[in-house]
């Protein structure tokens, strides 16, 4: 039982370390003049909107830019997790 508790604590510690590392990473994505900066934990840091676009075009550009930034953040998370040895019991 105590070994399971230690494994759980180790897992929590590893997850916290990964979160801290990802918080320092910044992903920047630009689409049609819209720029989103997001950290590796998928928290939006900044959004810059293009001037001169109508509302529908701006919404579409923002949606596409956000979705691409999230994909980049997910790939970054996977790479960092793999580089740190993965999570025991979840990765092979």
In this structure, what token pair is assigned to residue 63?
Answer: 């949606």
User: Could you give the CA distance from residue 92 to residue 90 in angstroms, rounded to a whole number?
Assistant: 7
* Gyration radius of the chain over CA positions: 18
pLDDT at 89: 56
In this structure, what token pair is assigned to residue 21?
Answer: 């590392």
Domains defined for the chain, CATH in brackets: 2-83 (3.30.1310.10)
pLDDT at 92: 47
* pLDDT tens-digit profile, the chain (92 residues): 678 888 788 878 888 888 888 899 999 999 999 999 999 999 999 999 988 889 999 999 999 999 999 999 999 988 888 887 765 555 54
Q: Is 1 strand, coil or helix?
A: coil
In this structure, what token pair is assigned to residue 2?
Answer: 């105590």
pLDDT at 87: 57
Q: Which helix (H) or strand (E) holds 44?
A: strand 44-48
């Amino acid at each position: 039982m105590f070994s399971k508790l230690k494994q759980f604590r180790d897992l929590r510690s590893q997850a916290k370390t990964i979160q801290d590392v990802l918080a320092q990473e910044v992903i920047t994505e630009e689409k049609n003049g819209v720029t989103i900066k997001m950290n590796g934990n998928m928290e939006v840091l900044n959004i810059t909107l293009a001037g001169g676009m109508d509302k529908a075009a701006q919404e579409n550009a923002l949606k596409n830019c956000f979705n691409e930034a999230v994909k980049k953040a997910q790939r970054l998370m996977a790479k960092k997790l793999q580089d740190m040895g993965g999570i025991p019991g979840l990765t092979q």
